[in-house]
Amino acid sequence: MTRKHRRLLIVLVFGACIGSAVALTLIAFNDNLVFFVSPSDLSKMAVNGRTLRLGGLVEPGSVVRGEARNAGTTFRVTDGANSVVVTFKGIVPDLFREGQGVVTLGALRPDGTFLASEVLAKHDENYMPKEVAEALKKSGQWKSESEALPARPLSAPFGKTSGG
């Protein structure tokens, strides 16, 4: 075995050690590495009022914007199997739409609803010009993320609470 071969062997063994160490660490911390949990995960978890992130699709037709000042926005977050009612008092991002992915930060209240202090919109990996999106909708080939209803923008995203 020449010195080059020995050095190559050391590098390979060293790499295998680091690789398996990192792999084991990542597997061990799997639960902490997910950015959000789905409504189905949430129903199985013992959360005890802990702050966590809940992610899923905004259920079409579920968005209710409060009329009163500071009433906030209420909507259901669904993953197809389960859904959770979320209340949020801030300003939702531009991409917040029915049928669109969102990630909310907050805690589950005793009544089973989720009080969010932050709502982030999740964008999917599909990119499409406006004209193509409209043509697809016209021809009936449109598939939204939820596969149920076409994702449509809310006409007035912030309702009457946007003044503050």
Partner 1 sequence: MTCMATRPIDIAPDDAAPSGGSSLHRFANPGRFLRLSESVLPWLTAAAIVLTVTGLGWGLFVSPADWQQGDAVRIMYVHVPSAWLASAGYVSLALCSLFSLVWRHPLADLAAVEIGPVGAGFTALCLATGSLWGKPMWGAWWVWDARLTSVLVLLFLYLGHIVLVRAFDDPVRGYRAGAVLALAGVVNLPVIKFSVDWWNTLHQPATIKFTQAPSMTSDMLWPLLIAALGFTLSFAAIAVARLRAAVMERRIRGLLMARAVSR
Return residues touching partner 1 (CB under 8 A): 3-4, 7-8, 11, 14-15, 18-19, 22, 26, 30, 33-38, 55, 92-95, 103, 118-134
Using the minimum distance from each CB to partner 1, give the nearer residue, 5 or 70: 5
- As measured in angstroms, the least distance from the Cβ of 2 to partner 1 is 10
Helix (H) or strand (E) holding 5: helix 3-28
- Burial code (b: 16+ CB inside 10 Å, e: under 16) for 61-82 equals eebebeeeeeebbebbbbbeeb
Using the minimum distance from each CB to partner 1, give the nearer residue, 68 or 156: 156
- As measured in angstroms, the least distance from the Cβ of 111 to partner 1 is 26
Helix (H) or strand (E) holding 37: none
**Would you state the torsion angle of the CA atoms of residues 47, 41, 58, 161, taken in this order, to the nearest 10 degrees?**
10
Using the minimum distance from each CB to partner 1, give the nearer residue, 30 or 70: 30
